[in-house]
Structure 1
């Protein structure tokens, strides 16, 4: 395993049931052969804030959209110092991050600019890999519909908003979620290696 002079913060984004968690696990198994790797997932449903968000996702509690967003944001801020420390010499693979929380709020009618501003002090991802999935495809996957945002109508709206990430994230790469796990992992590893090499060169300058 290599000792890294700099790390990398990689975020996996996408619609519900698009294969994010599967890709995170696959990337971890692939990358750990060469690098120190750490995985994260948001929301962290084991924390007090995450427990509220878990109940919200399952329809147990209702939340005002702005309150919902601030809780999503607070969940991420709780991991701010951890991310900043790990990214010094570790590759972090994160299942959902800023845009998952932002889009889950914007789809309720809240202003995109306000949502982005609340995230301003959080660590920025070095690379965001977006798994682009057809809504008809994900709606057929096991578990779809278990949580309140998992309807075809909401997911279609969320997909439209996800495309706006390109205007706010220069380090965004779109991957085709309809491909096999092996194919997607290969493409993702190539993008991570490319980004890592670029970061390493920046450290030398």
Structure 2
């Protein structure tokens, strides 16, 4: 089987990291060769860049370039080798996060973001993307004990709207909009069913 790339997307509090981990563990138990990475992160260089992004105040363009640098490292060092060897690769955030957070959220030119996404990934897009869709009020409730620079309400609303725009506009891709307001198990059952259906036709 050729490699298969799955990305999990959604605003903070949507449960995407939990669902990515659950799918990884399920597929491993089913006997698939599977890897799980986080973007930014999962290589020594990308993890250092992640710390810079989290801990330093910076302008939106610098932030965008750091995200893309971390992604380039992840794609080249981890994702491409795994896909070449035929693995399923699950990534917690990928290009759509940058489009939603830096493009729609930080209001950077979407064309610029698209070009940089293409450069960092060498043009590789996910084979399947799950966008965990959550009402803003529920996301903020889940995040009330966390405080990061990515959780200001107006900014997060632009990000959520951006994800919806990606879903409705990029019809050439297989993007699934998942109702993340349900229980963790209900969400996972839908994700599991969709994923197994895709893998069976490969």
TM-score by length of 2: 0.87
Taking the aligned partners of 2:17 and 2:156, their CA distance within structure 1 comes to: 17
Instruction: State whether residues 5 and 83 of structure 2, in contact with CA within 8 Å, keep that contact through their aligned partners in structure 1.
Output: yes
1:186 partnered with 2:178: no
2:67 corresponds in structure 1 to 72
- Indicate whether 1:154 and 2:155 are aligned: yes
Contact 1:43 1:72 in 2 (8 A): yes
Q: Any idea what SS the aligned residue of 2:91 has?
A: strand
Task: Give the superposition deviation at 1:104.
Answer: 1.9
Q: Identify the range of structure 1 (16-25 vs 168-177) with the bigger mean alpha-carbon deviation.
A: 168-177
Return 77-86 or 15-24, whichever deviates more: 77-86
Q: 1:173 aligns to what?
A: 176
Q: In angstroms, what is the RMSD of aligned CA positions? A: 1.9
Query: Which residue of structure 2 lines up, in the alignment, with residue 43 of structure 1?
Result: 40
Q: Which runs of 5+ in 2 are unaligned?
A: none
Alignment of 1:42-191 (within 5 A): 42-44=39-41, 47-57=44-54, 60-81=55-76, 82-88=78-84, 89-106=86-103, 107-121=105-119, 122=121, 123-142=124-143, 145-166=146-167, 167-168=169-170, 170-191=173-194
TM-aligned CA distance change 1:92 to 1:147, over 3 Å = same
Tell me by how many angstroms 1:49 deviates: 4.9
Instruction: Report if the CA contact (8 A) 1:17-1:144 is conserved.
Output: no
For the Cα contact (< 8 Å) 1:12–1:24, is it kept in 2?
yes
The answer as to 2:19 corresponding to 1:16 is no
- 1:173-205 Cα distance to aligned partner (Å, 9 max, x none): 00000111111111111111222233x1xxxxx
What SS does the corresponding residue of 1:110 show, helix, strand or coil?
A: coil
Question: SS where residue 38 of structure 1 aligns?
Answer: strand
- Larger helix proportion, structure 1 or 2? 2
1:87 aligns to what SS in structure 2? helix
| Equivalent position of 1:203 in the other structure | none
SS at match of 2:118: coil
Structure 1 residues 46 and 140: alpha-carbon distance in aligned structure 2, compared to 1, 3 A threshold: farther
C-alpha separation in 1, matches of 2:51 and 2:95: 17
Offset, 1:32: 0.9
Unaligned stretches of 5+ in structure 1?
201-205
Shift in CA distance, 144/98, structure 1 to aligned 2, threshold 3 Å: farther
TM-score (norm 1): 0.86
